[in-house]
Structure 1
């Protein structure tokens, strides 16, 4: 493509004079851009197709040689800009017609924001309802659109390999787009993909459609970013194209983008599992008041939860008074249940986050967790029974052994099941944090321990 200086080739006083002649009375010019029509760029006829897109307080007017095309604001649905094959482009959605595309000359790139803003303001005035600004598109939180980059290289499907190589020589290949070229049709819809290294072996006279791959893997701009994260992680893609609802190529997501997302989400999950709210800054830069606010909420909640443990101990005060040695084993037993539950919860939260486990797998994992917890309970029960035998006699040793088996079983099942329950309620399973599981385990541990002690020691006449 031959590069030209529009500022020199197009006499701005001349087109301004023409524009003024075409204006209605009291119509005012707001802004203008030096542009090329889309079809002329594809044909390489940039010199013959230099034009000016003028925004007035009533309409948009495109001047190209003797040709004048006017678009009143009342017939425009929207206007926005993006990055495409030849750099920045402006697209006009005309009511009842196809989208009209103009490529912005690089010398005017810094004026696009102002042009779009002024045009949007005029569109809003002509609309019965306020219109959302589209100059800087916004996307749903955690969607692919929030992490994609618009720095990519795309070529028209009618290009030959020689045209493609010429295109690459005249466009800088950024780090984001150094692996692939994307092939699009006249409406910028994605049609194929060509690894840049493949151009080395192709004949210059071949068409790009002959060497491109049509076995496309792409993601929608509004899809959850977890989708693209899993695709790149599972298939080791270097990047994936992003399309809108019409199939138009609007950006790409690279492996580096996904790594940044994974790191941020892993950090957030760690905070949640420690019962700490997520922060927008680093721990090093976090202030004392902010750290206090992030941590105190859950801790206060857990304080009140632990009141139930204290109430259970008070309920069994007669049993404790009769066999004081039971108190020695209380922290050991309740902590073991909480620890087993925290282990199970951590494993399950991670498995659900990576997609290794689905909600429908709960029954299968319940049986597996019961088996594992039973074996752990037997091993830990045997260990604590030995201590109990020498510390308080065989009666207490049997009580602590039975309790250990039961609290490990109950804690593990709760820790494994709670992330499933939270996911079923469409909540983040990472909320099943270690402090929360430990507090729940403490309550059940106290109830189980003193219930077993009261039953067994009462049955043998020690109470």
Structure 2
């Protein structure tokens, strides 16, 4: 087998398309028998739904379900529309409960009941229970397919129980110990049972120390827990401590990717997409982007209005206008850097939402250092500019250079503080810190930067202004 999904797909794609063209379904079945489900899904994405449905019939039922789980949501919905009741049932019964829930969340209303009716009563009950948890909660991610035992069982009895339910369990990496009321009291590695004396009771290998997720917590908390404890699976309990399911690392990888993508899109000054970029319509893209563009446009109007208030100064000292883009861009860049650092630190729990005082002191100091360095560079740049333009090195040129240098210091400092504190402020009022995006910070700094710049100009150049 070849390593690398993209390479394998490219290698078999010509043969795959040729067999479809010839309607050689037997040959196609042989070709697909050794292809991983994720690669089969890649091959199906660009096919017409009718052809994709035929190919699904060639696959073994568990493989077909795996392939379906890897399809983009819009392609999955397209195929479900074409499946007959038996095909729907075959796919749904072989999906994990969390995958069934994820699919139901994506379905249009007219298809939801049809898919639900294709499932057996037990699966329907599980899906409805999981859908009862809040959207984006850990409860929506979990699966009830795990192995649990009692502390007073012997190791031998426990191993028989594990072997009995191993096939339906999503993972055997951890075995969960519960009491008579289903309260979670421990989770144990399978190797501990293998190494223990068969006559010993489970209690003898327990330490009653475990980490668990809460079903009603946000999915982001699960990402943090998996990263912190480096686990393949974690148990999920309700508010009373009763074991209700487990979450596995493959689901967390998907959540981490979604959360990172969402944060990146929000930091770019837009609403997060509901689907992959390639699966989002032009209208959908415009809808997600236009809101913040309007907000930022209004912000730039404020910038223009602020500059118009200093029209007389600009008429008298035209040189000052040349440095406006440099100054506000430096402040915006500094603010964007600070906002990005703090948003990421909050997301990874590197800093807590109540740690703003420490962050403020750090960003004031770093802002002063950055501003001083850029201020010196700006001072030297304007002096050189003037000398190259034929101006003498006199008090007026030095004052103009001082305006630029000191403005850079204060604007960069203000940008740093604004970018660092906005995530805390938004978090405090219950908003996602990621919305303190780079464009949003830059717009704030634009307006304040112009006020700082021209206020310093009026103060230092009052002697040469008419």
Give TM-score, length-normalised by structure 1. Answer: 0.69
- Moved beyond 6 Å, runs of 4+: none
Kept after mapping to 2: 8 A contact 1:194/1:213: no
3-state DSSP of counterpart to 2:170: helix
What is aligned with 2:166? Answer: 172
CA-to-partner distance for each residue in 1:64-97, whole Å, 9 max, x for gaps? xxxxxxxxxxxxxxxxxxx99xxxxxxxxxxxxx
Match of 1:373 among 367, 377, 382: 367
Q: Distance in 2 between matches of 1:136 and 1:401?
A: 60
Match of 1:363 among 341, 357, 362: 357
CA-to-partner distance for each residue in 1:267-302, whole Å, 9 max, x for gaps? 111111111111121111221111111111111111
CA distance 1:179–1:113, change in 2 (3 Å): closer
CA distance 1:390–1:462, change in 2 (3 Å): farther
3-state DSSP of counterpart to 2:462: helix
Q: Distance in 2 between matches of 1:375 and 1:431?
A: 27
Comparing both structures, which one devotes a greater share of its residues to helix? Answer: 2
What is aligned with 1:446? Answer: 450
Q: Distance in 1 between matches of 2:123 and 2:338?
A: 52
CA distance 1:313–1:223, change in 2 (3 Å): closer
What displacement does 1:173 show? Answer: 4.5
Whether 1:395 and 2:399 are equivalent positions in the alignment is yes
Match of 1:112 among 122, 126, 136: 122
Match of 1:415 among 415, 419, 428: 419
3-state DSSP of counterpart to 1:276: coil
Q: Distance in 2 between matches of 1:230 and 1:445?
A: 38
What is aligned with 1:193? Answer: 187
Q: Distance in 2 between matches of 1:402 and 1:192?
A: 62
Q: Distance in 1 between matches of 2:129 and 2:323?
A: 66
What displacement does 1:175 show? Answer: 7.5
What is aligned with 2:438? Answer: 434
Q: Distance in 1 between matches of 2:130 and 2:363?
A: 50
Match of 2:231 among 218, 222, 237: 237
Q: Distance in 2 between matches of 1:410 and 1:136?
A: 47
3-state DSSP of counterpart to 1:177: coil
What is aligned with 1:11? Answer: none
CA-to-partner distance for each residue in 1:346-370, whole Å, 9 max, x for gaps? 1111111222222332222212111
Kept after mapping to 2: 8 A contact 1:181/1:193: yes
- Highest CA radius of gyration, 1 or 2? 1
Q: Distance in 2 between matches of 1:136 and 1:366?
A: 42
Q: Distance in 1 between matches of 2:301 and 2:165?
A: 68
Count of aligned pairs: 340
Kept after mapping to 1: 8 A contact 2:173/2:190: yes
What is aligned with 1:247? Answer: 241
Q: Distance in 2 between matches of 1:377 and 1:245?
A: 50
Match of 1:150 among 136, 141, 144: 144
5+ residue gaps in structure 2?
Answer: 1-95, 98-118, 387-396
Kept after mapping to 2: 8 A contact 1:274/1:434: yes
3-state DSSP of counterpart to 1:165: helix
CA distance 1:207–1:273, change in 2 (3 Å): same
Kept after mapping to 2: 8 A contact 1:113/1:135: no
CA distance 1:159–1:292, change in 2 (3 Å): same
Moved more, 199-208 or 311-320: 199-208
What displacement does 1:186 show? Answer: 3.2
What is aligned with 1:26? Answer: none
Q: CA RMSD in A?
A: 2.4
What displacement does 1:220 show? Answer: 2.5
Whether 1:351 and 2:340 are equivalent positions in the alignment is no
Comparing both structures, which one devotes a greater share of its residues to strand? Answer: 1
Match of 1:320 among 299, 314, 319: 314
What is aligned with 1:66? Answer: none
Q: Distance in 1 between matches of 2:236 and 2:443?
A: 45
Kept after mapping to 2: 8 A contact 1:381/1:404: yes
CA distance 1:113–1:312, change in 2 (3 Å): closer
What is aligned with 2:91? Answer: none
What displacement does 1:434 show? Answer: 0.4
5+ residue gaps in structure 1?
Answer: 1-82, 85-108, 118-132
